[in-house]
Amino acid sequence: MDDNDQLAAGGHATAAREHVYGFNRATMWDRDQIPSETSDQLAEFADLAAALPQAFSQLSTTLEQALAHQVLSMDAMTDESDPAMAIGVARLHLEEARGLAVDLHKHLDAARNATAHVISQGVDDGQESMPWDQP
């Protein structure tokens, strides 16, 4: 992965984070959101989660390549003195995150599938329906 690829990847990660923050702000007080909108949002998050396993694998590979091809050292902000140990720990966490991301995608996709065909008939205003409104 060259410098341009790393910048692009960082930009995509920032865009995804901003999308999630925007979603959180937009839906915090939205009680009238219809199920199809929720299903669409679940699909977006499932797509995002589907891309995470490969991204985590690529990050792990990038760390492995840095270890193999660069002269590395640790800064003074940590007690860890061995870059190989730090990279090994990071790669273990990335492998665990990769598996969790696969599960996350499965759950989000299942939630989307469960809500994909729910249709809203409008907002319940709390009033009882009249007998002539009954089917």
Question: Is residue 11 scored above 90 in pLDDT?
Answer: no
Structure-model confidence comparison of residues 54 and 2, the more confident one = 54
Q: Structure tokens of 34?
A: 């219809």
- Over residues 95-124, mean pLDDT: 91
The reported pLDDT for the residue numbered 1 is 53
The reported pLDDT for the residue numbered 90 is 96
Q: How far apart are CA 125 and CA 50, in angstroms?
A: 39
Record the pTM: 0.72
Region of 122 (left: φ > 0; alpha: ψ -120 to 50; beta: rest) is left
The reported pLDDT for the residue numbered 34 is 73
Question: Is residue 135 scored above 70 in pLDDT?
Answer: no
Question: Is residue 59 scored above 70 in pLDDT?
Answer: yes
User: If you average pLDDT over every residue of the chain, what do you get?
Assistant: 83
The reported pLDDT for the residue numbered 3 is 60
HSE at residue 68, side-chain half, CA atoms within 13 A, is 6
Confidence at 52, pLDDT banded by 50, 70, 90: very high
